[in-house]
C-alpha cells in the first residue's frame, strides 16, 4: 500500500476530516480534528460502553489529545509521539490535531457509521 494524503478524497463529519486508504485489512487514515473535538462525548453513543472499540496505531504530526479508558486510565499523546489505543477508549483533542493512523477496516467502518449517525442526529436537534 502506497498513498499520498493529497491524492485521497476528504471525508468530512462535522469538524472532522479524514482521508483514508485500505489495504490488507487495514485502514491508513490521515486525520484532522480541531481543538476540543469531539465537543460532546455522545458522539460514541451506541458503541459498547459508549466508547470507541477500534484498535488504532498512529503518530501525532501536530497537536495533542487526551485518551481515557473506562477503567480510569488516562494518557495525553503529544506531537511527535506514536501511540496504540486499545478498544474501549474515548479521545478528545486538546489542541487541533493532525495524525496518521492505522486501524482494522471492519471495526473502523462500524465505529465511523455510528459516529456519522450521531453527528447527523446532533445536527438535526
Judged against a pLDDT cut of 90, whether residue 35 lies above it is answered with: yes
Q: Does 103 fall in a domain? A: no
Residues 62-98: tens digit of each pLDDT = 999 999 999 999 999 999 999 999 999 999 999 999 9
pLDDT at 19 over 80: yes
- Which residues, 6+ apart, have CB-to-CB distance to 120 below 8 Å? none
Domain-located, residue 105? no
pTM for the model stands at 0.91
Determine the structural domain holding residue 60 and report its residue range.
8-96+111-124
CATH label of the domain that carries residue 29: 2.60.120.10
63 occurs within a structural domain:
yes
Where does the pLDDT of residue 121 fall: very low under 50, low under 70, confident under 90, or very high at 90 and above?
A: confident
CA nearest neighbour of 77 among 59, 89, 56, 55: 59
The count of domains in the chain is: 1
Amino acid at each position: 500500500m502506497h498513498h499520498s494524503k493529497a491524492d485521497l478524497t476528504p471525508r468530512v463529519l462535522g469538524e472532522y476530516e479524514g482521508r483514508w486508504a485500505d489495504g490488507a485489512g487495514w485502514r491508513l487514515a490521515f486525520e484532522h480534528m480541531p481543538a476540543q473535538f469531539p465537543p460532546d462525548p455522545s458522539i460514541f453513543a451506541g458503541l459498547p460502553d459508549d466508547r470507541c472499540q477500534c484498535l488504532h496505531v498512529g503518530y501525532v504530526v501536530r497537536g495533542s489529545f487526551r485518551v481515557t479508558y473506562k477503567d480510569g486510565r488516562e494518557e495525553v499523546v503529544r506531537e511527535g509521539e506514536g501511540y496504540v489505543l486499545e478498544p474501549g477508549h474515548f479521545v478528545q483533542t486538546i489542541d487541533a490535531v493532525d495524525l496518521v493512523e492505522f486501524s482494522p477496516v471492519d471495526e473502523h467502518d462500524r465505529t465511523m457509521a455510528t459516529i456519522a449517525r450521531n453527528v447527523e442526529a446532533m445536527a438535526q436537534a
